Amino acid sequence: MKIDVLTLFPEMLEGVFGASILGKARNSGIVSLGAVNFRDYAVNKHNTVDDYPYGGGGGMVLQAEPIFAAVEDIAKGAAVKPRVILMCPQGETFTQRKAEELSKESHLIFICGHYEGYDERIREHLVDDELSIGDYVLTGGELPAMVMIDSVVRLLPGVLGNELSAVTDSFSTGLLEYPHYTRPASFRGWDVPEVLVSGHHARIDSWRREQSLLRTLDRRPELLEQVELTERERVWLAQQRKERNQQ
């Protein structure tokens, strides 16, 4: 996979791209990570990329010309059209499902804005997705882009040491992930659940499924509406809800 980030502050991405899982993925050739300063594509002698909004108002608006030029330059000669993603608080909320979708692409371009906003023609004629990491506003799109890139890259084959890790993550199954334990088996009087040290894999799988259902019920019950459940699980969850309401 190739990932390019259009930004006015490429130095913000250097540490993240070179460290931990992302750094290993880049060094091993699984992913190419690049930061492009779209100020280099400014069309005026002052190298400005923003201007006052037509109609007046506060703040400055990013111009269409440099961003279009940067994307077109990056995409020049590409065998497959890159998927262009705009970082925007108005966009679709980023989810694990979206990360899985993006991980199947061969080339992603993230556009990170600053100032008051974007020239609307960028949204209408250049980008494929507008994405947000939550209902709040940041000073720029670099932090959301780094969050999304980390989430996507870890799903690529060969990136994680254990390929099952990504499969069982919270949200990958539609449920929150079950609890984990490691050595020692007893710590300050708190013991690891007996089933996990039993060596009985079918019982362990059943326990983990029930724990995922319970954790989702307690913390994110709305997620259960989108999960495929067996009839037994539906009855069991109804009983769990009843018991919780009586407490």
Catalytic residue among 10, 82, 89, 144: 89
- Residue 115's CB is within 10 A of a number of other CB atoms, namely 16
DSSP-assigned letters across all residues of 14-45: HHHHHSHHHHHHHHTTS-EEEEEEGGGG-SST
Catalytic residue among 65, 100, 105, 116: 116
> Which of helix, strand or coil describes residue 21?
helix
4 is catalytic: no
Beta bridge partners of 36: 6
d(CA 226, CA 222) in angstroms, rounded, equals 8
Question: Phi and psi at residue 155, in whole multiples of 5°?
Answer: -90, -10
- Residue with the two structure tokens 């992302």: 22
116 is catalytic: yes
Cβ neighbours of residue 70 closer than 8 Å, sequence gap 6 or more: 6, 36, 38, 40, 41
Six-digit token pair at 21?
Answer: 């899982």
154 is catalytic: yes
Would the CA dihedral through 237, 180, 25, 134 be positive or negative?
positive
Catalytic residue among 65, 100, 169, 210: 169
What single DSSP character describes residue 81?
A: P
Distance from the first to the final alpha carbon of the chain: 51
Question: Any idea which residues carry the catalytic annotation?
Answer: 89, 116, 154, 169
